[in-house]
Each structure stands twice: as structure tokens, then as C-alpha cells.
Amino acid sequence: MIDSLPPYGDLLGLSTARGEEGELLWIMPFREEVVGRPGYLHGGAIAGLLEFAALGTLYDLLKGEEVALKPINVTVQFMRGGSDHDTYAAATITKLGGRVANVEAHCWQQDRANPIASAQMNVLLKRGQ
């Protein structure tokens, strides 16, 4: 789905797939590079996954358009510890304006109805860049 990732995405081991309804899903495998305390994901890895999901969903929607995305504000809520399972994330664009977009992202492990974290992001859209 995504051709190439920046080095941080490669470090996290991220990959993408399409969900049942065509949504862009981000997958982060559990591995040594994303461990915080033994047996649990590092909070920064979770936040990074959420940021990739939010920005990746925006890029996916705006493909073919020349636009630079600049995060204005990111708020992450950690709900529970991520354990030794693959972690999935998806995002929803709640507002897409001419200059600003608002995006919500959620990540989960074995049960999508039981997220481990969520994020809200406001993004400046610099069109024609």
C-alpha cells in the first residue's frame, strides 16, 4: 500500500494492508525494537504508530494532490499497556478543510473494540507544495 517509509517507520517494522471496507490499516509487529518494559510496548512506539496511521490516511485520501502535511497538535491517550502481540491502527478524518485537517486514530491488538491507545491530530495542509 505505502511504497516507502521514513527510517522511523522502518525501525518500528510498519506495514500496511486494506481492511474489509477498504480502510488503510497499519500493522506494527511486536519485536525487540518496540519494547519498553519487558513484555510491553514502548509508549513512543505506540504514539509513532498512531501518527503514521493519521498522516498515512491523509496522504492516502489526498494522493495525486501536491500537499505538505505539518502536524499542529497531537494528543495521545494511552488506555492500557500493549503486550506481546501485533498492533493495528487505523484513522478517520473528521474534518478536511482547505488549510486544516482533523484526524482521529486508534490502535488495538487482538480486539478492535478494546483499543490500547487513541490520538487526535490537527494537521496544517500546505497545498501546491
Query: 20 in helix, strand or coil?
Result: coil
pLDDT at position 26 is: 97
Q: pLDDT value at position 53?
A: 97
CB 125 within 8 A of CB 99: yes
Listed as ranges, residues in the chain with pLDDT below 50 are none
- pTM equals 0.92
pLDDT at 129: 60
What is the predicted pLDDT for the residue at 71? 95
Distance CA 36, CA 34 (A): 7
Question: What is the reported pLDDT for 51?
Answer: 96
| C-alpha distance across the termini of the chain, in Å | 23
> What local confidence, expressed as pLDDT, does residue 37 receive?
87
Catalogue all structural domains in the chain, each as residue range(s) with its CATH number: 7-127 (3.10.129.10)
